[in-house]
Amino acid sequence: MFFDVFSFFTLIVLTLLSVIVSHASNSSSSSTCVVKDKEEDAELGEMATMESLIGLVNRIQRACTVLGDYGGDSALPTLWEALPSVVVVGGQSSGKSSVLESIVGRDFLPRGSGIVTRRPLVLQLQKTEPGREEYAEFLHLPKKKFSDFSMVRKEIEDETNSLTGRLKQISPVPIHLSIYSPNVVNLTLIDLPGLTKVAVEGQPESIVQDIETMVRTYVEKPNCIILAITSANQDIATSDAIKLSREVDPTGERTFGVLTKLDLMDKGTNALEVLEGRSYRLHHPWVGVVNRSQADINKNIDMITARRREREFFASSVDYRHLAGKMGSEYLAKLLSKHLESLIKTRMPGIACLINKSIDEIEAELHQLGKPVAIDSGAHLHTILELCCAFDLVFKDHLHGGRPGGDRIYSVFDNQLPHALRRLPFDRYLSLQNVRKVISEADGYQPHLIAPEHGYRRLIEVAVNYFRGPAEASVDAVHSILKELVRRSLAETQELKRFPTLQAEVSRAANEALERFREDSKMTTLRLVDMQSSYITVDFFRRLPQGNEKGGIPPAAAPIDRYTETHFHQIASNITSYIRMVSETLRNSIPKSVVHCQVREAKRSILDYFYVQLGQMKGNQLAALLNEDPALRERRQQCIKRLELHKSARDEIDSVSWS
């Protein structure tokens, strides 16, 4: 009985323990599954993010190509050069095309002797779901899918010839090709013309240097990954690709070395010195590939079979068996894809900053260049009047002192005019000899009785005429200053620079107005001078006897003294005093006349006559005035395209999840 009870309790305890252990085991298993699921989700999320990053760069590159931004010499900010890319570089017959076709898994590139690739080919690979149809799309043929890859080859040839002709010339304008396939990895490659040492028949002599220059513009950029293709059956020291990459990337941090034609090496030799980094070390490991032979191509051996044969070559090779896992075109594609993804993620924050900065700079320049001109006559007239007002404001600002130049007008009156008046030759003209001559000639056959009035008037009239020179010089000096201010104002009116025809017409109208003002000013100012000789101030001479008596100089009253030297000295002294008074009067009145007739009128109505002419113009004449400078129009169009590109890129970047 005791044992039965004991057995019963033992059974219960064991059952409870079993339940506890089972629960713990299930909990542990459940936790492990949760962790594993989280890791898989994180990995999938990271893969999705990376795929979206490469897709992001692909979309931006396509936009760059459409809008004409593919690097090279450009005065505008270029987004293309900031984007990470893999550039394929190699000499002719290095196997460059075969490597690309192996990565894609399709035979689609033109082949032949000489330089076959004559334009950059931007090749964007997009991995699709297994079982989906493979197809290709060209950016210049939107919405047209190519499932026959022989037609892709033909289209590359035709598009190349459409721009370069059939004379073997090259062009920096890229062809943009996207391939969608389950047999590729997400990757973007830029295939460039093969480096060559001599020009073949039909090519310009500069072709060798032209190709090297084009390749350098790509590989010199710090965001460029260089895929240097070298044939295994040539000395690595003579490789064109390695030589160029060594120059632009001496540390080898941006260079991936690819060794082709390993299967064509002489028996008993191998490329381990290169592949293991002993012959020429790079930051990244060398990758060996085995491409299809010409016989395979002639037999139409497909790429899938070629890839299988390549794997078998490395797996069965005594020399390369230990490196088989890191050899072949499939491994190369994955390696490049992973590195490109990593580089994009690293550089993207900097690219985003560059885009925002470029948007600000381009918008500022567009503001300076102004908006495009409307097409109707009313808008044309409104625009012309606005531009004329802008010029007028700048011109007035010069006169008012807000801008330099107007102060020179005051300098004419404060320095130039007084100096000219002081230099008039009155001492020579009123010399004793000349006064005697003029007085004697004025008396004629009948000598004067009391005072030689005719002689006085003749001396004064001739002396006053001397003031005409300084008066005219003041008018001309102010006119020259006003013309210079017009020239400056035209140059400083930024809005007018867009329209050289209108700028020339405004210049013509303003200068014609200044000529009219000058003529009016000259007439008025010289009239002031003539007034001084037309009417002599009598009171001045009436006061002279009293002044002379007070000064101890006897009056010229006695007839016996009229022709003495003292008498003629007195006449010269009297006229000199009068001329000084006239000089002081003109020194004050000439500036008033000049300012009133020239400066005031220029400030008030320099373009009034031009406005009347505008009102009489027809629509086509107004449009002709707004014939914009072609260089500025082209600049605005480029800025608009660049702004559209950068804003599109900013939106693309904002759409990607960075978490």
- What would the pLDDT profile of 534-560 be if each residue is shown by its tens digit? 888 888 887 776 444 444 444 444 444
User: Residue 475: pLDDT above 90?
Assistant: yes
CATH topology of domain 86-327: Rossmann fold (3.40.50)
The model's pLDDT over 485-494, given as tens digits with 9 standing for 90+, comes to 999 999 999 8
Lowest mean pLDDT among 59-68, 329-338, 452-461: 59-68
Lowest mean pLDDT among 247-256, 429-438, 561-570: 561-570
User: Residue 642: pLDDT above 90?
Assistant: no
Over residues 296-307, mean pLDDT: 81
Q: Band the pLDDT of 598: cuts 50, 70, 90.
A: very high
Q: Band the pLDDT of 15: cuts 50, 70, 90.
A: very low
User: Residue 595: pLDDT above 60?
Assistant: yes
User: Residue 375: pLDDT above 60?
Assistant: yes
535-555 burial string, b = 16+ CB within 10 Å, else e?
ebeeeebeebeeebeeeeeee
Over residues 129-152, mean pLDDT: 90
Residue length of the chain = 659
CATH topology of domain 377-544+564-627: Four Helix Bundle (Hemerythrin (Met), subunit A) (1.20.120)
The whole-chain average pLDDT of the chain stands at: 82
Q: Which residues pair with 127 in a beta bridge?
A: 181
Q: Which residues pair with 227 in a beta bridge?
A: 88, 256
User: Residue 613: pLDDT above 70?
Assistant: yes
Phi, psi (5° rounding) for residue 264? -105, 5
The per-residue pLDDT for 587 is: 95
User: Residue 398: pLDDT above 80?
Assistant: yes
User: Residue 3: pLDDT above 50?
Assistant: no
94-118 burial string, b = 16+ CB within 10 Å, else e?
bbbbbbbbbbbbbbbbbeeeebbbb
Enter the tokens of residue 192. 């460039």
User: Residue 466: pLDDT above 80?
Assistant: yes
User: Residue 409: pLDDT above 90?
Assistant: yes
The residue ranges of every structural domain in the chain are 86-327, 377-544+564-627
User: Residue 65: pLDDT above 80?
Assistant: no
The per-residue pLDDT for 482 is: 97
Lowest mean pLDDT among 41-50, 276-285, 331-340: 41-50
- Please spell the DSSP secondary structure of 580-635, one letter per residue: HHHHHHHHHHHHHHHIIIIIHHHHHHTTHHHHHHHHT--HHHHHHHT---HHHHHH
The per-residue pLDDT for 303 is: 80
The model's pLDDT over 517-533, given as tens digits with 9 standing for 90+, comes to 999 999 999 999 999 98
Instruction: Assign 205 to helix, strand or coil.
Output: coil
pTM for the full predicted model: 0.59
Kindly state the DSSP code that residue 262 receives in the 8-state scheme: G
d(CA 10, CA 158): 89
Lowest mean pLDDT among 74-78, 243-247, 266-270: 74-78
User: Residue 606: pLDDT above 90?
Assistant: yes
Instruction: Assign 254 to helix, strand or coil.
Output: coil
